[in-house]
Amino acid sequence: MSPTQKKPTPGLETPSDAPGQVVFRESPIHGTGAAALGCIPAGTRILEYLGRKITKAEASVQCDLGNPYIFEFDEVYDLDGDVGWNPARWLNHSCGPNCESLLEEGRIWIVTLREIQSGEELTFNYGYSLNDFKEHPCHCGSAECVGYIVDEEFFAELRGIAGPSQPPR
Ligand SMILES: C[S@@+](CC[C@H](N)C(=O)[O-])C[C@H]1O[C@@H](n2cnc3c(N)ncnc32)[C@H](O)[C@@H]1O
Ligand SMILES: [Zn+2]
């Protein structure tokens, strides 16, 4: 399973970033996460998701090997973000995210959805399908959490299946 990206938001034509405003540290959600070092405005490109462009076949092999940093790029290619020069690989998923991923002119950006306060963990929705959703329990802790890492389009369905309870850690 790999994160997917949305279509670009109209009006976000010029890439921008937030150099030095993101720190990578232990996360209450999972392992290492990313957090804001200062107040970051809505609509800021905080990081680019970088990696090796690989075929779907290679991505499938990597996923089977347990590589959690494969990012769905387009119909043909995925990105293997498991490289030291891709700090965006540390961002965790949330069911109530404060960022989103956007594909624009062949580059994937992590963009803030709202103003973010210093210290807040930076998250986006990985956009997973319902395939094998029980293998991906979510510990985001947000009020919107549906208990599993899935795209927002499946929240209603999942709430019907799983109810409001949290999955076991
Ligand atoms: C791209 S990595 C994110 C960085 C990760 N925290 C780390 O330290 O490697 C994705 C993996 O992090 C974990 N993860 C991310 N968001 C999560 C969440 N909301 N709940 C539980 N695990 C999560 C899952 O194991 C997932 O396969
Ligand atoms: Zn969640």
Q: What whole-number distance in Å separates Cα of residue 18 and Cα of residue 44? A: 7
Higher-pLDDT residue of 20, 96: 96
pLDDT tens for residues 23-48?
Answer: 999 999 999 999 999 999 999 999 99
Q: Could you tell me the distance, in angstroms and rounded to a whole number, from the CA of residue 94 to the centre of ligand 2?
A: 5
Tens digit of each residue's pLDDT (9 = 90 or more) over 64-76: 999 999 999 999 9
Q: How confident is the model at residue 1 (pLDDT cuts 50, 70, 90)?
A: low
Question: Is residue 97 over pLDDT 90?
Answer: yes
- State yes or no: pLDDT of 13 exceeds 50: no
Ligand nearest 137 Cα, by number?
Answer: 1
Q: What is the pTM of this model?
A: 0.87
CA of 148 to the centre of ligand 2 (A): 6
pLDDT at 12: 38
Per the CB < 8 A criterion, the answer to whether 6 and 103 are in contact is: yes
What is the rounded CA–CA span in Å between residue 116 and residue 139? 20
Contacts of 93 (CB under 8 A, 6+ apart): 3, 29, 123, 124, 125, 126, 138, 140, 149
Q: What's the mean per-residue pLDDT of the chain?
A: 88
- Nearest ligand, CA of residue 148? 2
- Ligand 2 centroid to 131 CA: how many Å? 16
Task: Rounding to the nearest 10 degrees, give the CA dihedral for residues 6, 139, 51, 119.
Answer: 90
Distance in angstroms (rounded) separating the CA atoms of residues 69 and 54: 12
41, two tokens: 């405005």
**22-127: in CATH 2.160.10.10:** no
What is the gyration radius of the CA atoms in the chain, in angstroms?
15
DSSP 155: H
In the chain, domain spans: 22-127
